[in-house]
């Protein structure tokens, strides 16, 4: 092999190996979220498989080109078929409990890709007879790492943003197939398997049962059956129900949206107020609500067009800012009468940087002195888990005592609505006892 061809192959290896890791992390978001306890083990398993691939490649002593070509073909099949949205969905639907599905996805799909591609550099450096050992390995690692750099950037910032995750899967699979054919262009059997893999990959990735997919989320909009409603349709984000609407006049919405509307419009009597909504969902909070001014913030710049075209079927009411919620509340100079927090990366997973004391302090900073925070949380219905207790305690450490409404008390997982006022302050508490009971004095105060 010519040096240029060797560099091209190791570039493809780096591009597609890290590309597969980026795609896998994105595919996991709808099912297990994107918290550090998910991303860190996934990256760790990937690097372990890559290291084992380096060791396996070092032991190859013959048929170098054929082995790399075969590895590319197998990795292409795993990428094109295993990372397809349909396949990942089937894994997490049919394999329970959830940690088992996660381990299967990482261990049976992502790690084998890393192991197969990790063999490339140590194998192909055997063919670089024109260079010293250090020069050969250094140049091979340079082109491989350069491929990883460009693969991670181009797939996440370009392909996923403009064409979707499935397009990124196809890009990796087809590039690997092209590499395998370059290495084994005279092998008819390899060509047949490569063609079959390409056809199956195209079929799985071009026929997604979703409305749209972006770098941030999978969106699915479709009809549902709800008693007493006229043509109801649901808006699923990352396989979790985000919004409901129907064609009634006035339209029906999800229960938690109705609750938030009641608090804002009826209980607080808001008129001509500025309301900041972190997490757009289906934009139903302001749907046909002309009494107040709404500003939505969502990390995904494409969610507005998707909601207007396929869900609301009309323009949203309010302003839309495509940005990270934490950054907006930390940097904006605007002040609002209400901040509504409704941010999720999957059904029960709030991004980790949006549950901390510092985030809630930033939400308080953007409130006017008489403003109110409304947060939609998904917690256990009895508020008994450590997560529920700690999250509520974190909010109250900033705002003081807040009102907490559990909307579905009989369910294991429920919408929990929290209302806090900027006029309140955290304070010390005491316990009333028979020996020392200050209840009457406190009541007078």
pLDDT values of the chain reduced to their tens digit, one per residue, 445 residues? 788 899 999 999 999 999 999 999 999 988 888 888 899 999 999 999 999 999 999 999 888 999 999 999 999 999 999 999 889 989 998 998 989 999 999 999 999 999 999 999 999 988 887 767 788 888 889 999 999 999 999 999 899 988 889 999 999 999 999 999 998 877 888 889 999 999 999 988 887 667 788 888 889 999 999 888 999 999 998 878 889 999 999 999 999 999 999 999 999 999 999 999 999 989 999 999 999 999 999 999 999 999 999 999 999 999 999 999 999 999 999 999 999 999 987 666 788 889 999 999 999 999 999 999 999 999 988 999 999 999 999 999 999 999 999 998 888 888 999 999 999 888 777 888 888 888 878 777 7
Q: Is the peptide bond before 406 cis (omega within 30 degrees of 0)?
A: no
83-115 pLDDT, tens digit each: 998 899 899 989 989 899 999 999 999 999 999
Predicted confidence at residue 305, as pLDDT, reads 94
**SS3 sequence, the chain?**
CCHHHHHHHHHHHHHHHHHHHHHHHHHHHHHHCCCHHHHHHHHHHHHHHHHHHHHHHHCCCCCHHHHHHHHHHHHHHHHHHHCCHHHHHHHHHHCCCHHHHHHHHHHHHHHHHHHHHHCHHHHHHHHCCCCCHHHHHHHHHHHHHHHHHHHHHHHHHHHHHHCCHHHHHHHHHHHHHHHHHHHCCCCHHHHHHHHHHHHHHHHHHHCCCCCEECCCCEEEEEECCCCCCCCCEEEEECCEEEEEECCCCCCCCCHHHHHHHHHHHHHCCCCCCEEEEECCCCCCCCCCCCCCEEEEEECCCCHHHHHHHHHHCCCCCCEEEECCHHHHHHHCCCCEEEEEECCCCCCCCCCHHHCCHHHHHHHHHCEEEEEEEEEEEEEECCCCCHHHHHHHHHHHHHHCCCEEEECCCCCCEEEEEEEEECCCCCCCCCCCCCCCCCHHHHHHC
Predicted confidence at residue 442, as pLDDT, reads 75
**Number of C-beta neighbours around residue 445 at 10 A:** 6
Predicted confidence at residue 432, as pLDDT, reads 84
Predicted confidence at residue 346, as pLDDT, reads 63
Report the half-sphere exposure of 170 (CA within 13 A, side-chain side). Answer: 18
Structure tokens at 336: 């609002």
370-400 pLDDT, tens digit each: 999 999 999 988 999 999 999 999 999 999 9
Predicted confidence at residue 399, as pLDDT, reads 95
- In angstroms, rounded to a whole number, what is the distance separating the alpha carbons of residues 313 and 57? 55
In the block, residue with structure tokens 């595919």: 27
Query: For the chain, which domains are there?
Result: 3-209 (1.20.1250), 253-421 (3.40.50.150)
- In angstroms, rounded to a whole number, what is the distance separating the alpha carbons of residues 336 and 272? 11
Burial (CB count <10 Å: 0-12, 13-18, 19+), residue 125: buried
Maximum CA extent, the chain = 93
pTM of the model: 0.82
Angle between helices 165-183 and 188-206 (to 10 degrees): 180
């Amino acid at each position: 092999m010519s040096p240029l061809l060797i560099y091209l192959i190791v570039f493809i290896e780096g591009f597609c190996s890290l590309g597969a890791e980026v795609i896998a992390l994105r595919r996991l978001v709808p099912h297990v979220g994107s918290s550090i306890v998910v991303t860190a083990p996934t990256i760790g398993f990937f690097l372990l498989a890559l290291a084992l691939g380096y060791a396996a490649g070092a032991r190859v002593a013959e048929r170098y080109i054929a082995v790399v070509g075969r590895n590319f073909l197998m990795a292409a099949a795993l990428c094109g078929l295993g990372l397809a949205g349909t396949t990942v969905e089937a894994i997490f639907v049919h394999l329970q409990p959830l940690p088992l599905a996660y381990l299967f996805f990482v261990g049976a799909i992502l790690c084998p890709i890393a192991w197969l591609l990790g063999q490339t550099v140590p194998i192909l450096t055997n063919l670089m007879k024109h260079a010293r050992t250090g020069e050969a390995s250094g140049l091979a690692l340079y082109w491989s790492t350069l491929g990883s750099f460009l693969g991670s950037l181009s797939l996440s910032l370009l392909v996923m943003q403009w064409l979707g995750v499935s397009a990124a899967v196809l890009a990796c699979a087809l590039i690997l197939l092209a590499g395998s054919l370059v290495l084994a262009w005279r092998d008819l059997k390899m060509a047949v398997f490569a063609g079959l893999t390409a056809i199956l990959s195209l079929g799985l990735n071009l026929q997604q049962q979703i409305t749209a997919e972006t770098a941030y989320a999978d969106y699915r909009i479709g009809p549902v059956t709800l008693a007493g409603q006229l043509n109801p349709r649901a808006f699923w984000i990352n396989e979790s129900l985000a919004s409901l609407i129907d064609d009634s006049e006035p339209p029906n919405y999800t229960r938690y949206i109705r609750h938030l509307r009641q608090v804002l419009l009826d209980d607080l009597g808001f008129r001509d107020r500025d309301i900041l909504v972190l997490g757009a969902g289906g934009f139903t909070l302001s749907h046909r609500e002309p009494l107040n001014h709404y500003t939505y913030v969502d990390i995904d710049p494409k969610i507005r067009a998707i909601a207007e075209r396929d869900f609301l079927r009309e323009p949203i009411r309010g302003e839309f800012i495509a940005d990270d919620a934490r950054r907006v509340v930390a940097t904006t100079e605007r002040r609002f009468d209400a901040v509504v927090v409704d941010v999720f990366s999957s059904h029960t997973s709030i991004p980790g940087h949006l549950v901390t004391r510092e985030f809630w302090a930033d939400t308080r900073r953007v409130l006017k002195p008489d403003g109110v925070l409304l947060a939609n949380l998904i917690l256990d219905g009895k508020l008994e888990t450590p997560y529920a207790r700690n999250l509520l305690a974190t909010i109250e450490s900033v705002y003081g005592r807040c009102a907490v409404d559990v909307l579905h008390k009989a369910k294991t997982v429920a919408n929990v609505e929290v209302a806090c006022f900027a006029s309140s302050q955290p304070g010390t508490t005491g316990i009333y006892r028979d020996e020392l009971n200050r209840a009457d004095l406190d009541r007078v105060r």
